[in-house]
């Protein structure tokens, strides 16, 4: 494996850990807010923070889920086809996914830049929302690279057969 793909694997592992930490943080913050509300002292801005952590958890889990082929797929008929046909279908689906998510990554980066220039912040805590959007765009970039790796692996498999 090349140094580039080893670096992507390293980033993928870190994203997975940070995403898991966001899930744990969401749980603890929600529980603490509920207990605080019982005693008349809710945590100010907890809804915003939980929303940000939920966004980050989903975005950071996306590349790892693609890597382990954990996304839901309709494979009832595809499993009946030959390995070569399955690889061709995977390549076609991968190319479409690559195109779509490359576009999403690009547009999300532009959107984050627009939000940064406008100076928009969250409603209660006044946190800069563009940072969350940039991080999400980075996660989508890693997702696109994982899709590309899957396509190239399928093409390599077809050539070997």
Tokens 């006044």 correspond to 126
Element (H, E) at 144: helix 129-160
- pLDDT at position 1 is 67
Task: Give the total residue count for the chain.
Answer: 161
Q: pTM of the entire structure?
A: 0.91
pLDDT tens across 54-111, in order?
A: 999 999 999 999 999 887 777 788 888 888 888 899 999 999 999 999 999 999 999 9
Give yes or no for residue 161 having a pLDDT over 80: no
What tens digit of pLDDT does each residue of 96-141 get?
Answer: 999 999 999 999 999 999 999 999 999 999 999 999 999 999 999 9
Please tell me the predicted confidence (pLDDT) of residue 8: 95
């Amino acid at each position: 494996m090349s140094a580039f793909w080893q670096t992507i694997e390293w980033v993928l592992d870190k994203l997975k850990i940070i995403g898991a930490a966001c899930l744990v943080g969401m749980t603890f913050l929600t529980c603490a807010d509920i207990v605080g509300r019982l005693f008349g002292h809710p945590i100010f801005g907890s809804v915003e923070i939980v929303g940000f952590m939920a966004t980050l958890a989903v975005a950071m889990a996306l590349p790892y889920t693609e890597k382990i082929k954990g996304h839901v797929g309709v494979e009832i008929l595809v499993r009946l086809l030959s390995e070569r046909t399955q690889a061709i279908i995977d390549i076609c689906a991968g190319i479409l996914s690559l195109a779509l998510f490359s576009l999403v990554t690009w547009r999300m980066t532009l959107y984050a830049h627009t939000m940064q220039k406008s100076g928009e912040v969250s409603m209660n805590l006044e946190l800069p929302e563009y940072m969350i959007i940039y991080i999400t765009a980075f996660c989508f970039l890693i997702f696109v690279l994982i899709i590309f790796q899957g396509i190239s692996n399928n093409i390599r498999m077809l050539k070997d057969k």
